[in-house]
Structure 1
Amino acid sequence: MSKEVISIFVDNSSNVLTRVASLFGRRGFNIESLTVSTTNDPRISRITVVFNGGKQSLHQILTQTRKLEVVKDIFTLDKDTSLFRELLLVKIACDKSNRSAVKEIVDIFRGKIISLSKHNMIVELTGASEKIDGFLDMINCYDVLEVCRTGVTGISRDSSSIDEDSD
């Protein structure tokens, strides 16, 4: 089993996400990460789904999802020809005794301190999931108060896009 990332262009309307996500559940697939946003066309939303599966599982989910009338396009985002990013917001307890050590780790990972108080800091970090995981591993010796991750979003490097004639 490998990690698969698929991108689904759908109608931007109510209950579409529920329909797509429930299709995965009914087929026995566990969604590892899910992000949704509108595209440059406000009538269309893009759903990025990460799940574990093999070639047969991928073929099954692509075929079944494509059958939904709200789906405009669906395709796999290949790890070699696509870019993937994730956003992390993390609140770390710190005071003057360990603030500089935490800041040094943030700097190494090219993070950004977006809030600072006498007792904690909030860090913003974007990058590949492996980078986010590595950062969290490095700061786990500190008192992590809250973690918020967006999930993976991705885009293909090639010039293809949704067929603009598909209304």
Structure 2
Amino acid sequence: MRHTVSVLVANKSGVLARIASLFSRRGYNIDSLSVGTTEDQEVSRITIVVEGDEQVLEQVTKQLNKLIDVYKVSDITNDSSIDRNLALIKVQANLDNRSEIMQIVDVFRGKVVDVAANSLVIEMTGSEEKIEAIEELLRPFGIIELVKTGKIAMVRGEK
């Protein structure tokens, strides 16, 4: 099972390295990792997606809580939450297929953020499944380059 873990940490150098090494020392693979500051510039939120059973999650949570610069660890897998991924996709585009590509992007509520003579760069946000779906539809046109972020997530309401 995939678990989404939200970790609030001190916004200091080296904190991310210590967290990543914690996972690697125990042989746990990180499926997705995103880091950014919060509303408080002294605090960063790390969103980690890790594959494993409840024992893996419990072990990871205990080890994270032992680190000095970690303020809070939350498993938000089963919480009511909002999550997003971001992808930038550069696709081969010419005069013949440009409008067809743009129609696909419109259906998925994506944005064309760059237009060149022979390519388009598309910005897509949404669930992992949504990004994979548009990626599959654009593949026949020729994907030149693709970059994706990890999942970011936030619990709904006042929690």
| RMSD after superposition | 0.9
1:123 and 1:69 map into 2 onto residues whose CA distance is 40
Question: What is the CA-CA distance between 1:146 and the residue it aligns to?
Answer: 0.7
For residue 109 of structure 2, what is the aligned residue in structure 1?
A: 110
Matched residues in 1 for 2:55 and 2:78: separation? 18
In the alignment, structure 1 residue 134 sits paired with structure 2 residue 133: yes
Mapped to 2, the partners of 1:151 and 1:78 lie a distance apart of 15
Q: CA deviation at 1:51?
A: 1.1
Task: Provide, for residues 25-83 of structure 1, a one-character-per-residue CA deviation record: whole Å limited to 9, x for no partner.
Answer: 11111001100001111111100001101111111100111110110000011345111
Q: TM-score, normalised by structure 2?
A: 0.97
The whole-number CA distance in structure 2 between the counterparts of 1:90 and 1:109 is 13
Measured in 2, the distance between the counterparts of 1:59 and 1:79 equals 15
Moved over 4 A (4+): none
Residue 61 of structure 2 aligns with which residue? 62
Counterpart Cα distance in 2 of 1:95 and 1:121: 9
Conserved in 1, the CA contact under 8 Å of 2:10 and 2:43? yes
Matched, 1:52 2:51: yes
Q: Equivalent residue for 2:124? A: 125
SS at match of 1:18: helix
Distance of 1:9 and 1:139 partners within structure 2 = 37
**Rounded Cα–Cα distance in structure 1 between residues aligned with 2:109 and 2:44:** 30
Deviates more, 1:77-86 or 1:144-153: 77-86
TM-score by length of 1: 0.92
Counterpart-to-counterpart distance in 2, 1:156 and 1:142: 37
Runs of at least 5 residues in structure 1 that lack an aligned partner in the other structure: 161-167
Contact 2:9 2:71 in 1 (8 A): yes
- Quote the Cα distance in structure 1 between the aligned partners of 2:113 and 2:12: 33
Q: Which runs of 5+ in 2 are unaligned?
A: none
AA partner of residue 117 (structure 2): K
Distance in 2 between the 1:76 and 1:83 partners? 14
User: Secondary structure at the residue paired with 1:140?
Assistant: helix
- The residue correspondences of 1:79-98 to structure 2 (distance < 5 A) are 79-98=78-97
1:74 alignment counterpart? 73
Letter in 2 for 1:47: I
Amino acid at match of 1:53: G
Contact 2:5 2:75 in 1 (8 A): yes
Q: Distance in 1 between matches of 2:26 and 2:136?
A: 33
User: Percent identity over the alignment?
Assistant: 38
